[in-house]
């Protein structure tokens, strides 16, 4: 049996957890939290990082920082996890979904103009699978129309565009350390602040909506409730697990990227024959090997291949169902323009096993089974 995913463990998790339990410092702010924050800020080239309980929470904070409220609109792709949209709906905003670029399954910036209205306040762009969205084009459009930009970089730690880390292009970004991600701590995330004018407000939100940080810095005599909030920070327990893995993240990125390119090389003949489609990467982008997928002719063929691989002991999975087709998506959002690719391409997309312990020969076996499938 080849599972779809196995969480990565460095081997130092138990040691760090024992340290946390022995010191009794289990809430946020301990030495492991401080290490993770400093490490990420260095890797993200000076951006300010706040550890959160999840990437979802980082988007929730971003929505408050963007001053989203009733009647506002935010543009995003429909092909994403519900966490990308839910925070804005909770604040009373309307979600405006746009079609994806079929090469990457990321937001197509060419469609932003038609989605823009007087109510548009922000753009959320997802780096699907750790493959970069066209952030220069998105930022140029946002600057022209004075829009807030949020990067959903949940998949993207270790990926770059024009040698710049993903997560450092928008006003804010989120990163996920969920157990399904390259580097994980079970449940956890990070809020990345690239617009330095937002730091003080972000500190208030993440400190339960108070000016506690200003108090600790001696700026105010007492701290009080000053802002909306969405919860507390990552616990020291989760940070201890994360701290055991972060020093290895570049190595894990290299391993997973090599596996990604092995899939790509082995399956390229099928694409050239017109039997499948593979994800395309911007020539100036570097990937982190977060996930690998192929697109079949249609949903029926996709299901057949999945069944065949399951019989051979190979676990594969589909991914996001377009949000605009969901009950909540119809209630809280609308689709702008034509749905040329989002629904059709997502229905025929199949993700293949990819994790750090996966062996090259296992990839060869998976690819051999795909290439020899009678569906082609």
Q: Residue 212 has what pLDDT?
A: 87
Q: Residue 296 has what pLDDT?
A: 98
Q: At residue 28, does pLDDT exceed 90?
A: no
pLDDT digits (tens, 9 = 90+) for 198-216: 999 999 999 999 998 888 8
Q: Is the Cα dihedral 43, 47, 53, 54 positive or negative?
A: negative
Q: List the chain domain ranges.
A: 13-248, 249-371
- The yes/no answer on whether domain 13-248 falls in CATH 3.40.640.10 is yes
Q: Residue 24 has what pLDDT?
A: 85
| Whether the Cβ atoms of residue 174 and residue 58 lie closer than 8 Å to each other | yes
The residues, any chain, with a CB within 8 Å of residue 120's CB and separated by 6 or more, are 72, 73, 74, 75, 96, 145, 147
- Give the start-end residues of each E strand in the chain: 48-52, 73-77, 94-98, 100-101, 106-107, 120-126, 148-152, 160-161, 164-165, 172-176, 189-193, 277-278, 285-286, 292-295, 333-335, 349-352
Question: Mean of the pLDDT values across residues 357-362?
Answer: 97
Q: Residue 25 has what pLDDT?
A: 83
Q: Residue 27 has what pLDDT?
A: 85
User: Tell me, what DSSP letter sits at residue 322?
Assistant: P
Q: Residue 216 has what pLDDT?
A: 87
Q: At residue 232, does pLDDT exceed 80?
A: no
Q: At residue 230, does pLDDT exceed 90?
A: no
Distance of CA 323 to the CA centre of its chain: 16
Residue 220 buriedness (CB in 10 A; 0-12 / 13-18 / 19+): middle
CA dist 175 and 153 (Å) reads 5
249-371 has which CATH code? 3.90.1150.10
Q: How many CB atoms lie within 10 A of CB 338?
A: 10
Q: Residue 191 has what pLDDT?
A: 98
Question: Mean of the pLDDT values across residues 324-353?
Answer: 98
Q: At residue 373, does pLDDT exceed 90?
A: yes
Question: Mean of the pLDDT values across residues 155-170?
Answer: 98
pLDDT digits (tens, 9 = 90+) for 61-107: 999 999 999 999 999 999 999 999 999 999 999 999 999 999 999 99
Question: Mean of the pLDDT values across residues 280-287?
Answer: 93
Does 13-248 match 249-371 in CATH topology?
Answer: no
CA dist 155 and 280 (Å) reads 16
Q: Residue 29 has what pLDDT?
A: 86
The residues, any chain, with a CB within 8 Å of residue 356's CB and separated by 6 or more, are 6, 8, 182, 252, 255, 256
State the distance between the two ends of the chain, measured CA to CA, in whole angstroms: 24
| Whether the Cβ atoms of residue 60 and residue 202 lie closer than 8 Å to each other | no
Share of the chain above pLDDT 70, in %: 100
Distance of CA 168 to the CA centre of its chain: 13
| Band of pLDDT at residue 355, cut at 50, 70 and 90 | very high
Integer CA distances (angstroms), 177 to 7, 27, 67, 202, 249, in order: 11, 18, 26, 20, 12
Write out the DSSP string of 277-298: EE----TTEE-----EEEE-SS
| Whether the Cβ atoms of residue 125 and residue 133 lie closer than 8 Å to each other | yes
| Whether the Cβ atoms of residue 53 and residue 187 lie closer than 8 Å to each other | yes
| Whether the Cβ atoms of residue 222 and residue 215 lie closer than 8 Å to each other | yes
CA dist 105 and 99 (Å) reads 9
Question: Mean of the pLDDT values across residues 30-48?
Answer: 96
Q: How many CB atoms lie within 10 A of CB 307?
A: 10
Q: At residue 231, does pLDDT exceed 80?
A: no
Q: Residue 20 has what pLDDT?
A: 94
| Whether the Cβ atoms of residue 188 and residue 242 lie closer than 8 Å to each other | yes
| Whether the Cβ atoms of residue 138 and residue 149 lie closer than 8 Å to each other | yes
The SS3 assignment for 60 reads helix
CA dist 263 and 275 (Å) reads 15
Write out the DSSP string of 163-229: TEETTSSSSEEEEE--TTSSS--SS-EEEEE-SGGGHHHHHHHHTTTB-HHHHHTTSSSS--B-S--
């Amino acid at each position: 049996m080849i599972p779809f995913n196995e969480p990565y463990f460095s081997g130092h998790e138990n040691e760090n957890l024992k340290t946390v339990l022995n010191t009794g410092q289990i809430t946020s702010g301990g030495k492991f939290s401080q290490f993770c924050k400093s490490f990420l800020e260095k890797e993200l080239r000076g951006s300010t990082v706040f550890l959160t309980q999840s990437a979802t929470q980082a988007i929730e904070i971003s929505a408050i920082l963007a001053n989203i409220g009733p009647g506002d609109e935010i543009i995003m792709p429909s092909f994403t996890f519900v966490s990308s949209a839910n925070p804005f709906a909770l604040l009373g905003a309307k979600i405006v979904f746009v079609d994806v670029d079929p090469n990457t399954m990321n937001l197509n910036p060419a469609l932003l103009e038609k989605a823009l209205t007087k109510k548009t306040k922000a753009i959320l762009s997802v780096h699907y699978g750790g493959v970069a969205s066209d952030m220069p084009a998105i930022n140029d459009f946002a600057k022209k129309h004075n829009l807030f930009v949020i990067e959903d970089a949940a998949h993207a730690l270790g990926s770059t565009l024009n040698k710049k880390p993903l997560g450092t292009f928008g006003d804010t970004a989120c990163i996920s350390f969920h157990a399904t991600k390259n580097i994980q701590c079970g449940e956890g995330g990070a809020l990345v602040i690239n617009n330095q004018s937002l730091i003080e407000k972000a500190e208030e939100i993440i400190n339960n909506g108070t000016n506690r940080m200003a108090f600790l810095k001696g700026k105010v005599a007492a701290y009080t409730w000053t802002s909306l909030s969405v919860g507390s920070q990552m616990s020291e327990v989760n940070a201890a697990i994360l701290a055991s893995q972060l020093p290895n993240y570049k190595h894990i990125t290299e391993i997973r990227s090599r596996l990604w390119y092995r899939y790509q090389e082995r399956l390229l003949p099928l694409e050239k024959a017109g039997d499948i489609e593979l994800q395309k990467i911007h020539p100036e982008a570097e990937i982190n090997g977060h996930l690998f997928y192929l697109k079949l002719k249609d949903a029926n063929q996709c299901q057949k291949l999945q069944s065949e691989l399951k019989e051979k002991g190979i676990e594969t999975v589909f991914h996001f169902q377009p949000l605009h087709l969901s009950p909540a998506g119809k209630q809280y959002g609308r689709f702008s323009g034509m749905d040329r690719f989002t629904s059709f391409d997502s229905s025929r997309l199949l993700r293949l096993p990819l994790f750090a312990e996966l062996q090259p020969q296992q990839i060869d076996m998976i690819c051999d089974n795909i290439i020899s499938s009678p569906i082609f």
